[in-house]
Amino acid sequence: MSVYFATLGISIAFYRLFLNPLRRFPGDTLPALTKWQSFWVAKYGQTHHFLFAQHQKYGDYVRVGPNELSVTNVDDLPIIHGNRSKFNKGPWYWKNLNEPEPGLFSVQDWDEHKARRKAWDTAFGVKSLKAYEPRIATALDHLCARLDQFAKTGEYFDMSLWAELLAFDVMGDLGFGDSFHMLESGELHHYVEFVHIGLKFMCTLAPISWAMPLLSFVPVDKKTREVTARFFAYGADRFKSRLAKGPIKNDVFGFLLAAREEGGLTDAKLESDARNVLLGGGDTTAVLMTSLLFYLTRHPAAKAKLQAEVNTLFKDEPFDAAKLGGPPYLNACINEALRMIPPGPNGMQRVVNTPGGITLNGRYVPEGTKISVHGWSVMHDPRNFARPEEFIPERWIEGSGFKGAHNAAAFIPFSQGTYQCVGRRLALQESRMFLVRMFQNYDFQIDPNLDPKAYVAATESYLTITKSALPLTVTKLTKT
């Protein structure tokens, strides 16, 4: 028996290294042999740093698994992630074994995903966002009350924490009609811990999704398993409590329940979607708001330009979030923060399903190959964005005088195409409202002892970026 398995292992290794069509693509030897390296990299949240280093070493095409490629050639984006691409999601989007049905995020089939997504697109559409505006404003009121207290004491506070409390309070309210009330309490709700540990668990195992039947043997600590189980149980509880209220279209889940009434969704699918509601609008928005304060407090000139612009807004008219897509410097700051620290930094895995495979840059990629475009690398590539490690909002403003490469097609913070982030419009609206409220009323100063390079280097990624503490002080501005 041992001879059999030894021979089998040698045969598999020989095929993967010397016969597999992907052998023509560069990359380290270990990833070509096994995905277990990806497991360990993911376990410690280093995937975005690792893949960036791999592309720095090997170029636009890197073999990152026995049957997987990571790509940074922007010309390939339409093929892999574009609106016309029908590549299915890959096995990275595995369905948890405890789920009878996958949530929207885990649906791999292109046609099923398109059908399931309709209700979500309505829930995050322009009309819905307008209805959500007063509730976001109320959450910002609670945040401002806290900032007023910090302004009086002059103490340092962790902006990353308060951005998270804000984002999850908003998503709890807009998702299910019931805020977590964390801004009032000043404490993280236990569900946020469930989200973070659950994401870590799922993203650690995603590279070896084929091993799910052997889950009990996978080296993941007991606490992570237990908290992940609680994460799924809490999502089920939120689903049941919201279900009892009926399909009232005053929150995201109300639109999903309406689709259920029309026969489009089963209760099992809705229960899984309940977790997706909070995942889709919590961490991503918190990362963006934190990044904005990190970069703006480190760049006083940019902060001054933003404050000057927001102080001209809504002087003689009622506040209207729909108009916040217009102010150029406000949106340039948001775009630049998204480029510098994209909330979802890693490639969204797809599977080549074109019969007979495809050709990329003259090299054959067989049908069934897992493939993705690595967003962090693309948006930090000097061919796409000149001086990519510098925060320069002016690069997004035509006529600003900024010179150098600027490839808007390479800006993919929310991915692209059919599978792009469904909550992107909400994240942008909430972040715009956040910036206007913050910089019309406050001035922020960053802890001078914070090392900016270390701050970025310390980021980890478990689907979304984790945030290090961001110590700030705040001064309340006097209205003139």
Binding site residues for heme, as ranges? Answer: 421
As a whole number of angstroms, the distance between CA 242 and CA 415 comes to 30
CB 162 within 8 A of CB 469: no
CB 278 within 8 A of CB 426: no
Give alpha helix (H) positions in 107-220: 110-123, 126-153, 159-176, 182-185, 190-205
CA distances from 465 to 203, 283, 312 (A): 12, 8, 33
As a whole number of angstroms, the distance between CA 237 and CA 254 comes to 16
Radius of gyration of the chain (CA): 23
Query: Which is it for strands 370-373 and 68-71: parallel, antiparallel or unpaired?
Result: parallel
* Residue 476 β-bridge partners: 442
∠ CA 338-303-470, nearest 5°, is 60
> Taking Cα atoms as reference points, which of 13, 7, 49 lies closest to residue 31?
13
Coil, strand, or helix at residue 202?
helix
As a whole number of angstroms, the distance between CA 78 and CA 415 comes to 11
Which amino acids are annotated as binding site, given as ranges?
Answer: 421
> Taking Cα atoms as reference points, which of 88, 152, 115 lies closest to residue 370?
88
Which tokens hold the place of 404? 């150098």
CB 358 within 8 A of CB 331: no
Neighbours of 232 (CB within 10 A): 17
